[in-house]
Amino acid sequence: MNPWGTPHTKKKRDRDLTPPFVDDGLLEVVGFRDAWHGLVLLAPKGHGTRLAQAHRIRFEFHKGAADHTFMRIDGEPWKQPLPVDDDNVVVEISHLGQVKMLATHDCRSKSVHNPLTPATSHLDEDNNDTDSGEDDSTGEEWRKFGAADTFKVPD
């Protein structure tokens, strides 16, 4: 699944969007009208409505018709209670730090620090300079992408 999707070049330029990387410190904010709209993720190339990319985000909820809303961060859903009187509910989300991430050979995650990760090689089509003719996507560094230094991928 790729909730952010792959925006067209014109949309990326007009809205100042950057490709999503797991380690760029940015949050991709994606919206869905309802659960049915969320089902579009199951379709090939399905994605939500791209709202923004930011280092932090603040939601302020005011009294309305609904008493709750559903939110999700890093794939984890939660039911957010909304104000029932004249109070406000504020939800602030920021990038606190970074954890090590284990990756398999067919991992779709991309690193801003390693532009040779397989999913990013098509992003920089103008820069076809490579120091060697070997495929870096099968090297030990790629196999340990984001993993702890002591992690070893079994052969």
* Confidence band for 43, pLDDT divided at 50, 70 and 90: confident
Region 45-71: mean pLDDT is: 86
Region 66-91: mean pLDDT is: 85
> Is the pLDDT score of 123 beyond 60?
no
Q: What is the pLDDT of residue 76?
A: 80
User: How far apart are alpha carbons 68 and 70 in whole angstroms?
Assistant: 7
pLDDT averaged over the chain? 71
Query: Which backbone phi and psi does 120 adopt, to 5 degrees?
Result: -100, -10
Q: Is 110 exposed, middle or buried (0-12, 13-18, 19+ CB in 10 A)?
A: buried
Q: What is the pLDDT of residue 1?
A: 60
H or E segment to which residue 29 belongs: strand 27-31
* Confidence band for 99, pLDDT divided at 50, 70 and 90: low
Domain boundary assignment for the chain: 9-94, 99-155
Q: What is the pLDDT of residue 53?
A: 87
User: How far apart are alpha carbons 64 and 106 in whole angstroms?
Assistant: 44
Could you tell me the sign of the dihedral formed by the alpha carbons of 145, 151, 152, 154, in that order?
negative
> Is the pLDDT score of 141 beyond 60?
no
Q: What is the pLDDT of residue 58?
A: 92
